[in-house]
Structure 1
Amino acid sequence: MSDHPPYLPPPEEVLEIGAPEQFAALAHPLRQRLLFALGHRPATTSQLAAQLDAKKGNVAHHLKVLREAGLIHIAETRQVRGGTEQYYQRTARHMLVAEPQAEGTAAMLAAVAQELSRSPAETHLTLRHLSLSPAKARELGETLARLVDEAEENAEDQPVHGVLVALYQQALPTSTTTA
């Protein structure tokens, strides 16, 4: 018997994040890591706790917060040894945060830092600042999104790799002089 139920894709392709409870749910690194972990297949609390090296009770609490925010749902339940095992799944394949909030962004970056530190393979992390016209920045953003989407192999027996893509316009320096 398999440790995972038959894979069914999330019910939605894209979920736009905008509700206050969704932003609050995204403001914790473990909840971000849980969303990362649920990006490819449903999993139980025990499976997620083992995968993320976290306490089962802590994982259960954060799954509840994510579920109440509508970011995950129970995809399947199974009867095991007199109990019920719940498999959690993201509600959408992609989650779009149109107007990121500082707390959620900080939590996501902290979660990525945790994932990088636990990676068994060599990682690649680059930060560059480029001078781009608005049209070129839009083109670069579309190209990066397309590259990431096209790279997915959907090979169950291969390791999962995290990809963080951020394209933003650097803020202009604030003037420190007064008139």
Structure 2
Amino acid sequence: MTPTPTERPPDDLLEVTTPAQFKALGHPLRQRLLFALGQRPATISQLAATLGAAKGNVAHHLKVLRDADMVRVAHSRQVRGGTEQYYQRGARRVRVAPGHSAATAALLGAVAEEVSAAPGEPLLHLRHLRLTAAQADRLAAALSDLVEGAQDAGEDEPRYGVLVSLYRQAPPPPPA
């Protein structure tokens, strides 16, 4: 559907920084709603059917996401004496601001659910390396450039999730 003059496409990036946004990410259904709305705008009924959730629950969690400016109404249409609203994500990409590892961990839980439900075998590599700070910075920049430079092939193509992470491991606990 072509946006009407009252609609606007999602922003490119939302950096999660506010208490309302962290609260919004704190529930698995809200994370699943954000993933589902990454495909195209949808109504409460469509989201409920897609996610196997009750419409009342979906409506409640969409309100929390709207209050946090993470979801907005894309457009509305009149149906049988009522108005049907189509919701979309506020931004194509969501990034947790540095220093908020609990929110990052919550998002990883939602990604794990998505990966386990995905058809086929996902590509997943976990490797531990000893790097200098300069090497880690170069690797982070290269990974960011790779992900940021990937182009969407269009709505007729299958969707793929991309998760890239570079993190410094916590030191091992001291011997007992």
Question: TM-score, normalised to structure 1's length?
Answer: 0.85
Could you tell me whether the CA contact under 8 Å between 2:29 and 2:61 is conserved in 1?
A: yes
Equivalents in 2 of 1:163, 1:77: separation in Å? 31
Are the counterparts in 1 of residues 96 and 103 from structure 2 also a CA contact under 8 Å? no
Residue pairs, 1:103-114, within 5 angstroms: 103-114=102-113
Match of 1:45 in 2: 44
Identity score, percent: 58
List per-residue Cα deviations over 1:66-104 (Å, max 9, x = no partner).
111111111111112222111111222222211353542
Structure 2: where are the runs of 5+ without partners?
Answer: none
| Equivalent residue runs for 1:8-87 within 5 Å | 9-10=9-10, 12-87=11-86
Counterpart residue identity of residue 120, structure 2 = A
- 1:144 and 2:150 correspond: no
SS in 2 for 1:57: helix
Are the counterparts in 1 of residues 33 and 47 from structure 2 also a CA contact under 8 Å?
Answer: yes
Contact 1:28 1:104 in 2 (8 A): no
Q: CA RMSD in A?
A: 2.0
Runs (4+) of structure 1 exceeding 6 A deviation are: none
**Contact 2:73/2:85 (<8 A) preserved:** yes
Q: Do the aligned residues in 2 keep the contact of 1:23 with 1:101 (CA within 8 Å)?
A: no
Structure 1 gaps of 5+ residues are none
Count of equivalent residues: 172
TM-score by length of 2: 0.86
